[in-house]
Amino acid sequence: VADLEGGLEKEWASLQCPSNDGHKFWAHEWERHGTCSFNLHEHDYFNAALTLKGRLDILGALEAADILPNGGEYDSDGILETLREAIGAVPEIRCNKNLEGKEQLLEVFVCIDKYDASTVIPCPTKPHNRCSPKIVFPPFSAALSSS
């Protein structure tokens, strides 16, 4: 995976404090998600993830629908529908609470076929992971986005 580290650092960085060292994060992602892929070895898993990141412009799709990371409130179903249209399958979004106690967009997950890592599939519905009907799309630095 060493040959992919530059791409992983740029496209799939860990933003958790106190360290931005991605190695523990990537190991977690491989153990949690990559090992259940049918035919991908670790290198192929991360290479497929980088390829998909380049193909799926999630932030661009949201921006085209005027859903911007500006601290504004948006309809969570509208975000899901916009992303479904853009990527061809319903993703999963996860939220957390901001300092004001409002629910905000935390993560967007794209699910892929475990037999074909280039195929995006609908993510399973998980009622316990549902965001509120209205969520904040928090601002973030353009340096953190590589869309």
Instruction: State mean pLDDT over 116-135.
Output: 84
Same domain, 72 and 39: no
Residue spans of alpha helices (H) in 65-128: 76-87
Is there a single domain that holds both residue 44 and residue 67?
Answer: no
Query: Do 36 and 62 have their domain in common?
Result: no
Number of structural domains the chain divides into: 2
- Per the structure, the complete domain to which residue 140 belongs is given by 57-147
Quick one: pLDDT at residue 146? 46
Whether residue 142 sits in one domain with residue 81: yes
- Tens digit of each residue's pLDDT (9 = 90 or more) over 129-141: 689 999 999 997 6
Tell me: the pLDDT tens digits for 21-79? 677 776 777 777 766 776 778 788 788 888 888 899 999 999 999 999 999 999 999 99
17: pLDDT confidence band, cut at 50, 70 and 90?
Answer: very low
Closest residue by Cα to residue 120 from 95, 96, 86, 146: 86
Please tell me the distance from the alpha carbon of residue 111 to that of residue 22, in angstroms, as a whole number. 21
Same domain, 134 and 76: yes
Query: Cα dihedral sign for 120, 122, 128, 134?
Result: positive
